[in-house]
A and B are shown apart, each in its own frame.
With several copies, the nearest count.
Chain A
């Protein structure tokens, strides 16, 4: 079983989640990674879905946040207003797990439109829970495939704030969470510089070269002096992921 680039991205995202962490997960890549973590090193991870399921333990990756299995396996089921007010806004979420259509060097995210807002080239689904997940989670992890379409110099629309314009600009906006701590892609992992908060390539996946990552980044990519290579997914990790994908309804 050879791990694909997508497999590595998902496995690395899963590894980033510690056991017992309380994770607010969107559908798609984030949900897949979080459920993988739950089957591997984090059996007691608490998955929170914006549809109102707290501590959901789905047997298959849900296609929709409204999936019935989320309610059936959850520790608690609450209303949507409550999940956003009492749980996310109140600061009870350790990790917010997001994806993106476009991301910039400060890990700000666009999921609204490609092109001008009034005359968009592509109308995307929109914000969903992302702006407040990005604002209020103690920490944010972004999982996104890396390309010139997604890693752009300038977002067409800022849907959700990462590190804003860098430095302490995010904190000055009054956002309570610390913002994105990692952007995990199919090529490597980018983390914010401790001072400027610009994304820096800190980890590269096996077989990927830095030039390739730079070529798929829409701004001059900074690379860490202590760049490490991602530990290859173990057979157990890949097997668990494939098994999970196979269950997808």
Chain B
């Protein structure tokens, strides 16, 4: 909506939101390890950008999950590279300059090195912010902590503001490593937030047909993203349509 262009988007598992950003032509480059619509199939905007260069070609840098994870960890640790047993024998090796080999100085064994994934900005969604501005997460936290710590600035949306964290919180990001925290209930939609909302499986399925056609996608983006006031309105609109469809 801010008409940002020429972005490099990074995520292990880019899904609907990334498909939207690619579809509107905001991204020049995608760094990822799995780009699909989980449980449904393809991301059609992503595919059309790659297969037909529409709305413009997109440069891909692809990795394995293990490689991406090691890249986030290296960046969060202030190291220029991470080491793993990975990529060996895969054609992925020929498609990126950010994977190389490193030799163990003790055993002489050759291992795979991946370049640290230093980010300008990380955006994650979490469960709670406490009165000191610390953010609390639980459930499958993925690489969210590492993404936050790999970025120059991190923005977190949360389900709610609380006086003290729920006892289920297992991971805390201190306020002083975050640039901004905003309360945005259901901010993970169409994904879920453990303890707050369920995955909107119907939306993922619906996205398959919405995104399959350029015009339908454009109309949907106009109505649901560009012409709404805020994310709350967006959610209300999606909800209302889902009720009609259901």
Contacts and interface: CB of A to CB of B under 8 A. Distances in A.
Is chain B in direct contact with chain A in the complex (CB below 8 A)? yes
Interface of A: 20, 22, 27, 46, 50-55, 63-68, 70-72, 75-77, 79-81, 84-86, 88-92, 112, 117, 120-132, 135-136, 157-161, 164, 170, 173-176, 249
Nearest to B43: A125
B84 A54 contact: no
B91 A123 contact: no
B141 A128 contact: no
B213 interface: no
Interface in B110-147: 110, 132, 134, 138-143, 145-146
Given A67-B199, A158-B89, A127 B39 contact: no
Interface string B164-208: 000000111111110000000000000110100011010010000
B193 to A, nearest CB: 8
B84 A75 contact: no
Contact of B91 (A22, A159, A174): A159
Given A81-B146, A86-B76, A127 B63 contact: yes
A65 B38 CA distance: 8
A90 B90 contact: no
A63 B208 CA distance: 15
Given A127-B34, A135-B88, A79 B174 contact: no
Interface stretch (B1-9, B65-73, B220-228, B232-240): B65-73
Given A52-B141, A71-B194, A72-B194, 9 more contacts: A52-B140, A53-B140, A55-B174, A81-B72, A86-B149, A92-B177, A125-B42, A174-B109, A175-B89
Contact of A64 (B87, B92, B175, B199): B199
B118 to A, nearest CB: 11
Contacts of B194: 68, 71-72
Interface string B30-49: 00111110110011001100
A73 to B, nearest CB: 12
Nearest to A117: B95
A46 B176 contact: yes
Contacts of B103: none
A176 B201 contact: no
Contacts of B143: 79-81
